[in-house]
C-alpha cells in the first residue's frame, strides 16, 4: 500500500503510518436482488447496475434495478403485511421487533461501517463513530415509542397511515434508512424503501438484518434502483405516505406528483445553512465548529454550515485560524483512520462541486485550498474556502453539497439575522457567542428548523430535524418524527 | 517506532515523593541513562525531575550532559510559601546544578483574580533561574475551567516561561487531553503573534504509550513538527518509560511483553 | 452414585457487592411442603444504612448519564433476565407458584422492563415544557430524578411486583434501596444478580431481604432518602411510613394493591412520581429591529 494519508507535500518530520480499517470481516455478495415480502427476488427486468467505491472506482457489487412491476409487488407485499400482521400485532410486540433490529445492527456495527465507507466514500472514523451508531440508536429510540403512542398523542385519535414509500439519499445511506424505517414501523406502518443508486449496500445489509430478526415478511421491503424506481413508488396508488430526503428540485417534483391524492408527504430537502460567529465567541471552538460544519462528510450534508458569517472585528483572526486548521486536515483513503475528508460520493457530484468552485473564482471571490496531495484514483476534492463573498454571489446562494465554504462578514446582530434569513432555504443554522441571551435572540429569529448554539452538526434520535421554507416540511427524529407517520383525527 | 523513541527521549523521569532518598535518586539517574541496555540504540530520557534537596545527588550521578536535571521549586506542590522562600528555593536548586526549574503558580491567588501577583511571581522566579530554563506548572486540576487554563497559560507565557506544564502530579485530574490541547493552542497563538516558541510539558496521568502518542499527535497537529523534540516538548512521568520500552520490544519482536523483563528504578 | 447438588447462598446486594447481612442473622424460607428452601439474610437497620450510603454515592453518576444510555442498560436487564428465564421459573415454583403462572410472571416481567427501557429517553419529552412567559425570557421546565428511593416490594407477584416498582425508579435516574418481600425473597436476590451483570453501576440498585416491619422504618425516617414507594401496604404500615417520611418531606407513594399482570399497572406516572420539575429562566437579548418575518 502506498502512503494513504496525504498532507502538505513540503513537510518533513514525523509521518503517521497508514492505519487502514480491515475489510477482511465484511460479507459482501457479488450481486444483490430485491428484498420483497421477506424474500430476495430477481428484478422482473433482469437488469442490474454496478455500485462502485468512489475512493478507487472499483466495482463493489451488482444491484438489481427495480421497475414499476417490482415496486408494485413490493407495495402489495407491504399492504398485505400491514393488513394481516403488522396492524394487528400488539404494540409491545412491535416494539420488541424494532429493539431486536437495533441490537442486531449494533452487533454488526463495524461491518456496516466498513461497507458504508466503501460504498459512500465517507471516512471510516465518521461511519464508525457517527453514522452507524446513530442509525442503531434511531431504531432503539423509536422501538420504545411503538407501545407508547397514546402518550405521544394524548387525547387524540390516531392511526397508522398504511404503506410508507420512502426514498433516501446517498450522503448518509444507512442513517437515512434508519430515520425513515424506524419511526414508520413504530407508528405501525409498513415500508417500501429505495436507497440511492450510488449507495445501496448498507440498506441491503439492513435488509439481511431485518430478515434475520424474524420481522414478518412484507413489513419492510427494500427496492434498489434509479429515479424511475423512486417515481414508481411515489406514483403507486396504494402508497399512503411518501417520505423523501434529497434535492429540493426532486422534492418539488414529488409534491407535484402527489397533488390530488390523499398521500401524506414529508420532504427533507436542501439547504444553505448559515454559521454565525460573533466576536465574543470562543474562537478556537468556533473554528472547530466551522470545520465540522462544512467539511463533515465531505460537505455532503443537507444542513452543512456552508455560509459562514463572521463579525468583522474577528474576521481576520477567524480566517487565519481556519486556514491553519484546514492545513491539518487529511484528505485521502476513507478506510484510513487518519482520514478527515474522504471521497466525493460520485463523479457526477465531483463535477458539480468543481463547477461551483469555478464559478466562485470567476465571481472574483478569494479561494483558499490547502496544498495537500490527492490520491490518483477516485473522486477527491480539497477542502475549499472562499472569502470576500457577498450575498449576491452564486456560491453563497446555491447548495454546492461539497467541501466548499463561503465567508461573509457582518457588523451587527440585525444585519446577520437578515442575511442569514435571506435565502429560500431554512434547514439549519449555527450561532457562536459567549452570550446566552444572544443565542436565544437568534434562535427565536432565525428561520431554520435546527439551530446549533456553540456546536454544529449534532444529531440525536431524540431531537427532531427538518427544515423551513424550501428545505422541506415535516420532522424526523424525536417525538415530532412520529407525527409524520400517523393520521391524527 | 519513531514516535515511541521520540516519546522516550522526551520524558522527564520523575520522583517527587516525601520519602525520596539519595539512594532512590541514584537508582533513577542510572535508569535515566540506561533505559534498556539489552536493546541498543535507544535514546536516554530528556531529564530527571527531583526535589531541590536531591539536585546535588543527581548532579553527581549524571556525569554526561545528555540527561538534564530538572528541579521543582517554589514550595512545590502547593506553592503556599512566602516569596522569599520561593526565591531561595529556586536559587538553591540552580546553585546545586539544576538545568531546569519547574515552578508552581499560586493557584489561590489566580482563582481570587490576582493575576498581577501571579505574573510578577513568575517573572521574579524567572530572574532567579538565571540560565536555567523555567517550566511553569499551572496545576490545571485546580483551575476548574478551560478558560482558566487558557488565561493562566497566557499569563505564564507573557511572564517569561520557557515551558508551560499542566500539573504537579499530586492533583487529579492532571494532564487530560483537553487541558493539553488548550495549552498548546495558547502556545500556538503566541507563536503566531510573536514568532517565539514556548515548550509544553504535560505531566501526571500519562502512563501508557498510547496516551503519550495521542499527545504527540496533538503537538504535531496543533504546533507542527518543529515542536517534536525534547527541547520543546516533555512528558512528566514516572512509569511511562517502561511502558514505552515494552511497546518498542513488542514492535521489535511481535510478542506482547511482561513488566518482569524491564528494570524498575 | 448420584451427584450431590451445590446449593446457592442467597445474599443481599449493596453497592454492587453481595455481602451477608452485617447482623449475621437469617430466617429460613419454607416451601409449601414445609421443607427449608434457603437461609435468607435477615437484614438489619445497619444494612439499610449502608445501602442508603451506597445508593447516594451512585446517584450522581447514574442521574447524569444520558437518558439513552440508561435506556440501553435497562434494556440489557431485560435481555439478561430473559436469558435466566428457566432459573426464575424454577425459583418462583419453589416459592409456591405453579409452572404456568411462573412462566407468565417471568415473561410479563421481561416485557415490563422493555416497556420502561423505552421510556428512559422519552418521558422527558412528555413531562417537560417550554413556557411562554410574557417577559423576554426563554423559560423551560424539565424533570430531574428525585434522588434515593426506598422501595418496599409488594407481597403479590414475587418478581413482577417488585420489578414494576423498581424499574421506573431507576429508568428515571434515581437510585434505589429495595426491601424484598419477606415471603418471596429468592427472585429479588436473583434479580439483583441479573442487575449486577447488566452494566448497572454498583449502588444504583441495592436489595435487602428481611422483614418490612424492621427495615421500612429506618428507611422511611432516613434523612438522606428522598422518596418511598410501595404497593398495597397495610393501613398501619402505610401510615407509619407517611409519618416517618414527613421528617424530611419525602415523597411517599403507596400504590393500591393491584394485578401486576395488567397493562394498567405500568405507565408514565410511575416514572413521573419520582421526578422533580426544574424551571429555568434565561434572558433573550432584545435589541434592534430585525425580525424573523423575512
CB contact (8 A) between residue A147 and residue C118 = yes
Would residue C230 count as lying in a domain?
yes
Asked whether the beta carbons of A184 and A102 are under 8 A apart, the reply is: no
Q: For residue range C104-163, list pLDDT tens digits in order.
A: 999 999 999 999 999 999 999 999 999 999 999 999 999 999 999 999 999 989 999 999
Would residue C237 count as lying in a domain?
yes
pLDDT in tens, chain B (265 residues): 889 999 999 999 999 999 999 999 999 999 999 999 989 999 999 999 999 999 999 999 998 778 999 999 999 999 999 999 999 999 999 999 999 999 999 999 999 999 999 999 999 999 999 999 999 999 999 999 999 999 999 999 999 999 999 999 999 999 999 999 999 999 999 999 999 999 999 999 999 999 999 999 999 999 999 999 999 999 999 899 999 999 999 999 999 999 999 998 8
Please compute the mean of the pLDDT values over residues A201-228 and round it to a whole number.
Answer: 98
Asked if the model's pLDDT at residue A4 lies above 80, the reply is: no
Asked whether the beta carbons of A170 and A120 are under 8 A apart, the reply is: yes
Which grid cell sits at C109? 416481567
Q: Mind telling me how many Å the CA of A147 is from chain B's nearest CA?
A: 42
Would residue C232 count as lying in a domain?
yes
Q: Which residues in chain A are classed under CATH 3.40.309.10?
A: 274-460
Distance CA A19, CA A338 (A): 7
Residues 179..208 of B with a Cβ closer than 8 Å to A: which?
185, 192
* Start-to-end CA span in chain C (Å): 89
Chain C residue with Cα closest to A444? C292
Name residues whose C-beta falls within 8 Å of residue A372's C-beta, 6 or more positions apart in sequence: A6, A7, A8, A9, A329, A330, A331, A382
Name residues whose C-beta falls within 8 Å of residue A346's C-beta, 6 or more positions apart in sequence: A54, A170, A198, A379
Would residue C10 count as lying in a domain?
no
Distance CA C92, CA C98 (A): 8
For residue A14, give the nearest of B185, B192, B225 by CB distance: B225
- The CATH architecture to which A31-269+471-488 belongs is 3-Layer(aba) Sandwich (3.40)
Per DSSP bridges, beta strands B68-73 and B47-50 are parallel
CB contact (8 A) between residue A13 and residue B228 = yes
Q: Which domains does chain B have, with CATH numbers?
A: 2-261 (3.20.20.70)
Asked if the model's pLDDT at residue A10 lies above 60, the reply is: no
Q: How many domains is chain C partitioned into structurally? A: 1
A42 in contact with B, Cβ within 8 Å: no
Q: For residue range A100-155, list pLDDT tens digits in order.
A: 999 999 999 999 999 999 999 999 999 999 999 999 999 999 999 999 999 999 99
Please compute the mean of the pLDDT values over residues C216-238 and round it to a whole number.
Answer: 97
Q: For residue range A341-351, list pLDDT tens digits in order.
A: 999 999 999 99
Would residue C294 count as lying in a domain?
no
Contacts of B2 in chain A (CB under 8 A): 14
Name the 3-class secondary structure at A277: strand
Q: For residue range A431-457, list pLDDT tens digits in order.
A: 999 999 999 999 999 999 999 999 999
Q: For residue range C151-164, list pLDDT tens digits in order.
A: 999 998 999 999 99
Let me know if domain A274-460 sits in CATH 1.20.59.10. no
Per DSSP bridges, beta strands A366-368 and A331-332 are unpaired
Chain A residue with Cα closest to C283? A437
Asked if the model's pLDDT at residue A411 lies above 80, the reply is: yes
Please compute the mean of the pLDDT values over residues A163-171 and round it to a whole number.
Answer: 98
Asked if the model's pLDDT at residue A7 lies above 50, the reply is: no
Would residue C247 count as lying in a domain?
yes
Which grid cell sits at B31? 535508569
pLDDT band at residue C293 using 50, 70 and 90 as cut-offs: low
Please compute the mean of the pLDDT values over residues C76-102 and round it to a whole number.
Answer: 96
In this prediction, residue C289 carries a pLDDT of 58
C142 in contact with A, Cβ within 8 Å: no
In this prediction, residue C156 carries a pLDDT of 86
pLDDT band at residue A338 using 50, 70 and 90 as cut-offs: very high
Asked whether the beta carbons of C175 and C167 are under 8 A apart, the reply is: no
Which residue out of B31, B68, B86, B201 is catalytically annotated?
B201
CB contact (8 A) between residue A99 and residue C115 = no
pLDDT band at residue C32 using 50, 70 and 90 as cut-offs: confident
Q: C128: domain CATH number?
A: 3.40.605.10
In this prediction, residue A11 carries a pLDDT of 45
Asked if the model's pLDDT at residue A3 lies above 70, the reply is: no
Distance CA C117, CA A96 (A): 11
A144 in contact with C, Cβ within 8 Å: yes
DSSP structure class, residue A82: I
In this prediction, residue A185 carries a pLDDT of 98
pLDDT band at residue C291 using 50, 70 and 90 as cut-offs: low
For residue C125, give the nearest of A415, A438, A479 by CB distance: A479
Q: Which residues in chain A are classed under CATH 3.40.605.10?
A: 31-269+471-488
* Average pLDDT taken over every residue of chain A: 96
Contacts of A441 in chain C (CB under 8 A): 284-287
Active site residue B165: yes
B5 in contact with A, Cβ within 8 Å: no
Would the pTM of this model clear 0.90, i.e. be above it?
yes
Map grid coordinates 415523597 to a residue. Answer: C251
In chain A, what is the greatest distance between 2 CA atoms, to the nearest angstrom? 68
Query: For chain A, what percent of residues have pLDDT higher than 90?
Result: 96
Residue of C219, C218, C213 lying closest to C151 (CA atoms): C219
How is C255-288 classified by DSSP, letter by letter? Answer: EPP--TTSGGG--HHHHHTTEEEEEEEEE----S
* Average pLDDT taken over every residue of chain C: 95
Would residue C91 count as lying in a domain?
yes
Chain B interface test: which of A284, A322, A338, A434 (most B C-beta within 10 Å): A284
Please compute the mean of the pLDDT values over residues A355-384 and round it to a whole number.
Answer: 96
Asked whether the beta carbons of A69 and A34 are under 8 A apart, the reply is: no
Distance CA A8, CA B93 (A): 44
Distance CA A256, CA A264 (A): 13
A12 in contact with B, Cβ within 8 Å: yes
Would residue C27 count as lying in a domain?
no
Name the 3-class secondary structure at A443: helix
pLDDT band at residue A302 using 50, 70 and 90 as cut-offs: very high
Range of the domain at C228: 66-283
In this prediction, residue B78 carries a pLDDT of 96
Which grid cell sits at C183? 415471603
Q: Mind telling me how many Å the CA of C291 is from chain A's nearest CA?
A: 6
Amino acid at each position: 500500500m502506498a502512503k494513504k494519508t496525504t498532507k502538505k507535500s513540503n513537510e518533513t518530520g514525523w509521518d503517521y503510518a497508514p492505519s487502514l480499517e480491515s475489510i477482511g470481516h465484511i460479507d459482501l455478495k457479488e450481486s444483490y436482488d430485491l428484498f420483497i415480502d421477506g424474500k430476495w427476488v430477481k428484478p422482473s427486468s433482469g437488469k442490474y447496475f454496478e455500485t462502485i467505491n468512489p475512493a478507487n472506482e472499483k466495482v463493489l457489487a451488482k444491484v438489481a434495478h427495480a421497475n414499476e412491476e417490482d415496486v408494485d409487488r413490493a407495495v402489495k407485499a407491504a399492504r398485505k403485511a400491514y393488513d394481516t400482521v403488522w396492524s394487528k400485532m400488539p404494540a409491545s410486540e412491535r416494539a420488541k421487533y424494532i429493539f431486536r433490529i437495533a441490537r442486531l445492527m449494533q452487533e454488526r456495527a463495524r461491518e456496516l461501517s466498513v461497507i458504508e465507507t466503501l460504498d459512500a466514500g465517507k471516512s471510516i472514523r465518521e461511519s464508525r463513530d457517527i453514522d452507524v451508531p446513530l442509525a442503531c440508536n434511531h431504531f432503539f429510540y423509536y422501538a420504545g415509542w411503538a407501545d407508547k403512542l397514546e402518550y405521544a398523542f394524548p387525547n387524540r385519535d390516531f392511526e397508522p397511515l398504511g404503506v410508507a414509500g420512502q426514498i433516501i439519499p446517498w450522503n448518509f445511506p444507512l442513517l437515512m434508512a434508519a430515520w425513515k424505517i424506524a419511526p414508520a414501523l413504530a407508528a405501525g406502518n409498513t415500508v417500501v424503501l429505495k436507497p440511492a443508486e450510488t449507495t445501496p449496500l448498507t440498506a441491503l445489509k439492513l435488509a439481511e438484518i431485518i430478515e434475520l430478526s424474524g420481522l414478518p415478511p412484507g413489513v419492510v421491503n427494500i427496492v434498489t434502483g434509479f429515479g424511475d424506481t423512486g417515481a414508481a413508488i411515489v406514483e403507486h396508488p396504494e402508497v399512503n405516505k411518501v417520505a423523501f430526503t434529497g434535492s429540493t428540485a426532486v422534492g418539488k417534483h414529488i409534491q407535484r406528483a402527489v397533488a390530488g391524492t390523499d398521500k401524506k408527504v414529508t420532504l427533507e430537502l436542501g439547504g444553505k445553512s448559515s454559521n454565525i460567529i460573533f466576536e465574543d465567541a470562543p474562537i478556537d471552538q468556533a473554528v472547530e465548529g466551522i470545520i465540522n460544519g462544512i467539511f463533515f462528510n465531505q460537505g455532503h450534508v443537507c444542513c452543512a454550515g456552508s455560509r459562514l458569517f463572521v463579525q468583522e472585528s474577528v474576521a481576520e483572526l477567524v480566517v487565519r485560524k481556519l486556514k491553519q486548521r484546514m492545513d491539518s486536515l487529511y484528505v485521502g483513503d476513507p478506510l484510513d483512520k487518519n482520514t478527515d475528508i474522504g471521497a466525493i460520493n460520485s463523479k457526477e457530484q465531483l463535477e458539480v462541486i468543481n463547477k461551483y468552485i469555478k464559478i466562485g473564482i470567476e465571481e472574483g471571490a478569494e479561494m483558499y485550498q490547502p496544498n495537500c496531495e490527492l490520491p490518483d484514483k477516485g473522486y477527491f476534492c480539497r477542502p475549499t474556502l472562499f472569502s470576500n463573498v457577498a450575498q449576491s454571489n452564486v456560491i453563497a446562494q446555491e447548495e454546492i453539497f461539497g467541501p466548499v465554504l463561503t465567508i461573509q462578514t457582518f457588523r451587527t446582530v440585525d444585519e446577520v439575522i437578515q442575511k442569514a434569513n435571506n435565502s429560500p432555504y431554512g434547514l439549519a443554522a449555527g450561532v457562536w457567542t459567549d452570550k446566552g441571551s444572544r443565542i436565544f435572540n437568534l434562535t427565536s429569529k432565525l428561520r431554520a428548523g435546527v439551530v446549533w448554539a456553540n456546536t454544529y452538526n449534532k444529531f440525536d434520535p431524540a431531537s427532531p430535524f427538518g427544515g423551513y421554507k424550501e428545505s422541506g416540511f415535516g420532522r424526523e427524529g424525536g417525538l415530532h418524527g412520529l407525527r409524520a407517520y400517523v393520521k391524527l383525527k | 517506532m519513531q514516535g515511541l523513541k521520540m516519546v522516550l527521549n522526551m520524558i522527564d523521569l520523575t520522583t517527587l515523593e516525601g520519602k525520596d532518598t539519595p539512594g532512590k535518586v541514584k537508582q533513577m539517574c542510572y535508569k535515566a541513562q540506561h533505559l534498556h541496555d539489552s536493546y541498543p540504540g535507544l535514546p536516554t530520557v530528556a531529564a530527571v525531575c527531583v526535589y531541590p534537596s536531591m539536585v546535588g545527588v543527581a548532579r553527581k550521578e549524571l556525569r554526561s550532559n545528555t540527561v538534564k536535571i530538572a528541579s521543582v521549586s517554589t514550595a512545590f506542590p502547593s506553592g503556599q510559601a512566602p516569596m522569599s522562600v520561593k526565591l531561595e528555593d529556586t536559587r538553591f536548586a540552580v546553585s546545586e546544578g539544576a538545568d531546569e526549574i519547574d515552578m508552581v503558580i499560586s493557584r489561590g491567588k489566580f482563582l481570587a483574580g490576582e493575576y498581577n501577583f501571579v505574573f510578577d511571581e513568575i517573572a521574579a522566579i524567572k530572574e532567579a533561574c538565571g540560565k536555567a530554563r523555567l517550566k511553569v506548572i499551572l496545576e490545571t486540576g485546580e483551575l476548574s475551567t478551560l478558560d482558566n487554563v487558557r488565561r493562566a497559560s497566557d499569563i505564564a507565557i507573557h511572564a517569561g516561561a520557557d515551558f508551560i506544564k499542566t500539573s504537579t502530579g499530586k492533583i487529579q485530574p492532571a494532564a487530560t487531553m483537553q487541558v493539553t490541547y488548550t495549552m498548546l493552542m495558547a502556545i500556538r497563538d503566541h507563536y503566531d503573534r510573536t514568532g517565539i516558541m514556548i515548550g509544553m510539558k504535560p505531566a501526571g496521568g500519562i502512563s501508557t504509550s498510547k496516551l503519550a502518542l495521542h499527545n504527540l499527535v496533538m503537538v504535531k497537529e496543533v504546533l507542527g513538527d518543529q515542536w517534536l523534540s525534547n527541547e520543546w516538548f516533555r512528558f512528566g512521568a514516572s512509569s511511562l518509560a517502561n511502558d514505552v520500552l515494552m511497546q518498542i520490544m513488542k514492535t521489535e519482536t511481535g510478542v506482547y511483553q511482561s513488566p518482569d523483563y524491564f528494570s524498575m528504578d | 452414585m448420584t451427584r450431590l447438588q451445590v446449593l446457592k447462598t442467597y445474599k443481599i446486594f449493596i453497592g454492587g457487592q453481595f455481602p451477608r447481612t452485617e447482623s449475621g442473622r437469617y430466617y429460613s424460607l419454607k416451601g409449601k411442603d414445609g421443607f427449608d428452601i434457603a437461609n435468607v439474610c435477615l437484614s438489619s437497620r445497619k444494612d439499610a444504612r449502608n445501602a442508603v450510603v451506597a445508593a447516594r454515592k451512585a446517584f450522581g453518576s447514574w442521574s447524569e448519564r444520558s437518558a439513552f444510555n440508561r435506556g440501553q442498560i435497562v434494556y440489557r436487564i431485560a435481555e439478561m433476565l430473559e436469558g435466566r428465564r428457566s432459573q426464575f421459573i424454577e425459583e418462583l415454583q419453589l416459592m409456591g407458584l405453579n409452572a404456568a403462572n411462573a412462566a407468565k410472571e417471568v415473561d410479563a416481567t421481561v416485557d415490563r422492563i422493555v416497556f420502561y427501557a423505552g421510556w428512559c429517553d422519552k418521558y422527558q419529552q412528555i413531562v417537560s415544557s417550554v413556557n411562554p412567559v410574557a417577559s423576554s425570557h426563554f423559560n423551560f421546565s424539565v424533570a430531574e430524578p428525585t434522588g434515593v428511593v426506598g422501595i418496599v416490594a409488594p407481597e403479590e407477584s414475587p418478581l413482577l411486583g417488585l420489578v414494576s416498582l423498581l424499574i421506573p425508579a431507576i429508568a428515571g435516574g434515581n437510585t434505589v434501596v429495595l426491601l424484598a418481600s419477606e415471603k418471596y425473597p429468592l427472585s429479588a436476590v436473583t434479580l439483583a444478580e441479573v442487575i449486577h451483570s447488566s452494566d448497572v453501576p454498583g449502588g444504583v440498585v441495592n436489595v435487602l431481604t428481611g422483614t418490612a416491619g424492621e427495615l421500612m422504618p429506618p428507611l422511611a425516617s432516613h434523612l438522606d432518602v428522598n422518596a418511598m414507594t410501595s404497593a398495597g401496604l397495610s393501613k398501619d404500615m402505610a401510615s407509619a411510613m407517611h409519618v416517618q417520611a414527613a421528617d424530611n418531606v419525602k415523597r411517599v407513594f403507596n400504590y393500591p394493591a393491584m394485578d401486576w399482570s395488567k397493562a394498567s399497572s405500568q405507565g408514565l406516572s410511575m416514572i413521573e412520581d419520582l421526578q422533580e420539575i426544574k424551571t429555568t429562566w434565561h434572558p433573550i437579548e432584545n435589541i434592534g429591529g430585525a425580525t424573523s418575518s423575512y
